[in-house]
Amino acid sequence: MTDTTDEAANKPAINSADAPTPTPRRSVTLTMPELKRPSLPSYARSSRLRSGLLAVAFLLTAVLGGIGGGWLESRREANSFSTGALGSQKKVITQQSQLISQIAKTVGPSVVSVNVTLTTETAVPTGFESLFGIPGGSQTVAAAGTGIIISQDGIIITNRHVVPEGADSVSVTLSDGTELKDVTVIGRTKATDPLDIAFLKVTDTKGRKLKAAAIGDSSRVQVGDDVVAIGNALGKFQNTVTSGILSGFGRSVQASSDSGPTSASANDTESLDNLFQTDAAINEGNSGGPLVNLNGQVIGINTAIAGNAQNIGFSIPINDVKGLISQVFKNGKVVRPYLGVRYIPLTADIAKQSNLSVTSGAYIIPTREGEDPSVLAGSPADKAGLQEKDVITKVAGVAIDETHSLTSLLGTHQPGESIPLTIARDGKTQKISVTLGETPA
């Protein structure tokens, strides 16, 4: 495997194992359902301990909205006393099932298993080695996630946590079972980036053009739309398909790894924002797989699940990633524009509590004691004159709302580009110009 990122050098080594495991995740700071990363099942090669790779726990940072029931249940309940209506329902359900089956056949060849091996340190309490014959030291574990082919020449998009920095063994298994071991990690977003994204490059050993998935427009989806999730559930190298509805927009999650003795980074925390919420079951191993609309187009990339709630999953809207895809196609590397603010999506309730003049946008939160400044010193935002409690309402004339986050709108621009921002400050609207930087390491 070739890794083109600078960070890959001094990380834990990863070696090959027989069956992949789900990838680990991290945690959030509002009391909400615990989240798990839909990663992969893992088995240690060592005969001494067979442990799962990394356990992933997440907490929601934003209040979850109501979740719509699945289309199947709602249709079963409707008109339940009318035999004529029931006959019609059966027809609708059959048609829906056939459509989902067709979507699976169309999109399935573009969905791959991403297989990673990792060497981790096993922590065994002093004295237990001789008492129970349990050896300490390192062990090799295998993990498997999902990826999406986005070009015929083998560019694949997945989650950053599926291919952790330091992995020295990454392979890809196509839907027909072909394993490709010549894999290049084009790049990953930084660990502090709210987009959990990585890109790989493979070449089909049989010389075939690979089937690229159709990319949709995530700004056009609505709550209640039917969606389909496809992925390498449980790391079994086989695509699984689940269906449900899109049940919410703009969810924010802080993911923290709770990986137990095998974790090399149990204290790391990642903030992920502007996620879709869905009740289509996202299983372990589905991380990095597609969330698809009924036209067979990718509208999201599955990235997290709520551990203590049934069928609550989270996906990155595909529009948030299109800027990165363009960068990879054009320059062959992952480059993200950088503003340098900490913000939350503004809601009517937050606007009322904070006595703000607008009810939507990106609210630059006041800095609390012990925290880094919300406008980072020397950042493009600082140089442009942005301040705490400003609300950024538009980026280059496009309004920030439920389907257009600050992150996704900035992602359509390039580092070094000067763009106008519309802000609300002290009850007045004004425009400022900012020159975007490149996300620091």
51 near 120, Cβ under 8 Å?
no
Q: Which of 161, 171, 218, 243 does the annotation list as catalytic?
A: 161
Every domain of the chain and the residues it spans: 1-335, 336-438
Sign of CA pseudo-dihedral 340, 290, 34, 441: negative
Q: Which of 287, 315, 374, 379 does the annotation list as catalytic?
A: 287
For the chain, percent of residues with pLDDT exceeding 90: 44
- CA-CA distance, 262 to 118, in Å (whole number)? 10
**Banded model confidence at residue 141, pLDDT cuts 50, 70, 90:** confident
Q: What is the per-residue pLDDT across 169-210, written as a single tens digit (0 to 9) for each?
A: 899 999 988 999 999 999 999 887 888 999 999 988 888 899
- Looking at domain 1-335, its CATH architecture is Beta Barrel (2.40)
User: At residue 15, does pLDDT exceed 60?
Assistant: no
**Banded model confidence at residue 270, pLDDT cuts 50, 70, 90:** confident
Residue 196 annotated among the catalytic residues of the structure: yes
**Banded model confidence at residue 60, pLDDT cuts 50, 70, 90:** very low
Q: Which of 39, 51, 169, 196 does the annotation list as catalytic?
A: 196
pTM: 0.73
Residue 287 annotated among the catalytic residues of the structure: yes
**When comparing pLDDT for 159 and 83, which is higher?**
159
Name the residue among 333, 322, 342, 338 with its Cα closest to residue 412. Answer: 322
- The pLDDT score that the predictor gives to residue 191 is 82
Under CATH, domain 336-438 is a member of which superfamily? PDZ domain (2.30.42.10)
What's the burial of 392, exposed, middle or buried (CB within 10 Å: 0-12/13-18/19+)? buried
**When comparing pLDDT for 394 and 63, which is higher?**
394
User: At residue 55, does pLDDT exceed 60?
Assistant: no
